[in-house]
Amino acid sequence: MARGKSLFHRFALKQKLALVRKTKAVKTLQDELDRAAGVRDQLAEMASGMSVPEGETTIRHLRSASWYGNQVHEQLKTISNRAEFLSEEVASHRRDAAKARHQHSRAVERSEADDLARQLAREARFEASMPPRRRG
């Protein structure tokens, strides 16, 4: 081992890196979910605002309004599905991050316990190597 770093200490560092990666993944997914929700809200607003004006209209105007309405509803359905998928992914990644956080904390505890045991062993060896003291 290099410079007294125990296997437990190295494992704790590895778990910390995994935790950081998972946390970044959750943040990225959450940002994407927020963006998708914003687009979904805009599309829903557009869909609710689309209506054929009353009065005389032409067939071309009706077809155009129908086509645009269908396009908006299809995009709304697509973005809603994407938002649903992203919300499931965020929940899944959050669970994974929680597991990684727990593993990291256990690895840190083991590392600290190992460091303490090593320190106590060093002190015991030092005490054993010292000549006995005379009381007098």
Q: What is the pLDDT of residues 31-66, one digit of tens each?
A: 999 999 999 999 999 888 877 777 777 888 888 888
pLDDT of residue 132: 76
Amino acid at 32: E
What are the residue ranges of helices labelled H in 50-58? none
pLDDT confidence band for 20 (50 / 70 / 90): very high
Query: Is pLDDT at 10 greater than 50 in this prediction?
Result: yes
Task: Give the per-residue pLDDT at 99.
Answer: 93
Model pTM? 0.69
Q: At 42, give phi and psi (nearest 5°).
A: -65, -45
The reported pLDDT for the residue numbered 4 is: 58
Task: Quickly state the pLDDT bin for 5 (edges 50, 70, 90).
Answer: confident
Domain definitions of the chain by residue range: 2-127
Segment 15-35 mean pLDDT: 94
Q: Angle at the Cα of 62 (from 56 to 64), degrees rounded to 5?
A: 135
Beta-carbon-side half-sphere exposure of residue 26 (alpha carbons within 13 Å): 15
Ranges 43-57, 66-80, 91-105: which has the least confidence:
43-57
Task: Decide if pLDDT at 91 tops 80.
Answer: yes
Chain mean pLDDT for the chain: 88
Asked if 46 and 72 touch (Cβ cutoff 8 Å), the reply is yes
Residue 104 pLDDT > 70, yes or no?
yes
